[in-house]
Amino acid sequence: MSRTFDDARRWARLGTELVIKAAAGLDDDAFAAPSALPGWSRAHVAAHVAANAEALSNLVHWAATGEPTPMYASPAERAAGIERGRALPAAELTAWLHDSADALEKGMAALDEERWRAPVVTAQGRTVPATEVPWLRSREVCVHAVDLATGLTFADLPDDFLTALCDDVVTKRAAAPGPAVALRAPAAGAGWDLPGAGEAVPVTGQLHAIAAYLTGRDAGPLTADGTPAPALGAWL
């Protein structure tokens, strides 16, 4: 992985600023408008990001105290929280987004080096050191800042974050069935080989376009012969 703990902390702060700024000017009607995610309004996305901050705060509490505190009680509870949040008035939803992010940041700032090494369990059931929490948050806020569909794009995100994101997504996708794709971003000096069925399809483009493609946010750059890049399954 081309990232460090300090990188992830920096990206988490940046992404938080981006998502809060994107949501700050939205009123009830604007929150009710569609996001970039099919079937979700902007309010759904904002509620999801706020709930994620609270869930990751549970992991920070786990690391700080040793008391097992899952991110969510259940998938149903997670979905219900998003539904409750997306129905909030704009001012309350924006306040939740801000306050939950602030609480998470304060919780992370209070962890010492030993507590950062404490094992916690993600919503996907992976046992990881607490040092992974900033990366989980940075991935969440940076990508969903774009999903709010207020004008921010993947091209506005830092190249080092996009490279780390592509590393992460390729690792996850490599463990699931799908097409083989050889991704190259010459301008960034980066490339990834996504294993899968059949001969690898070469796809070349800008780093931000490849990141958007890998995360399912865009159809992706074209292949060498001008045809669309192979369709990919769900990322998370």
Q: State the residue range of the domain holding 174.
A: 154-236
pLDDT of res. 136: 98
The CATH number for 192's domain is 3.30.1050.20
Q: Which of 98, 130, 152 is the last residue of a domain?
A: 152
Each as own residue / partner, the long-range contacts of residues 37-43 (CB below 8 Å, 24 or more positions apart, any chain) are 37/147, 40/147, 41/86, 42/148, 42/149, 42/150, 43/85, 43/86, 43/87, 43/88, 43/93
pLDDT of res. 218: 87
pLDDT of res. 82: 94
Q: Which of 122, 152, 182 is the last residue of a domain?
A: 152
The CATH number for 36's domain is 1.20.120.450
In terms of domains, do 21 and 136 share one? yes
In terms of domains, do 59 and 98 share one? yes
pLDDT of res. 226: 85
Sign of CA dihedral 51, 147, 75, 39: positive
- Ranges of residues in the chain with a pLDDT under 50 are none
In terms of domains, do 133 and 169 share one? no
pLDDT of res. 1: 54
In terms of domains, do 128 and 139 share one? yes
Instruction: Please tell me the pTM assigned to this model.
Output: 0.94
Mean pLDDT of the chain, nearest integer: 95
What's the N-to-C CA distance of the chain in angstroms? 18
Each as own residue / partner, the long-range contacts of residues 32-37 (CB below 8 Å, 24 or more positions apart, any chain) are 33/149, 34/149, 35/147, 35/148, 35/149, 36/146, 36/147, 36/148, 36/149, 36/217, 37/147
Which residues neighbour 39 within 8 Å (Cβ) at sequence distance 6 or greater?
none
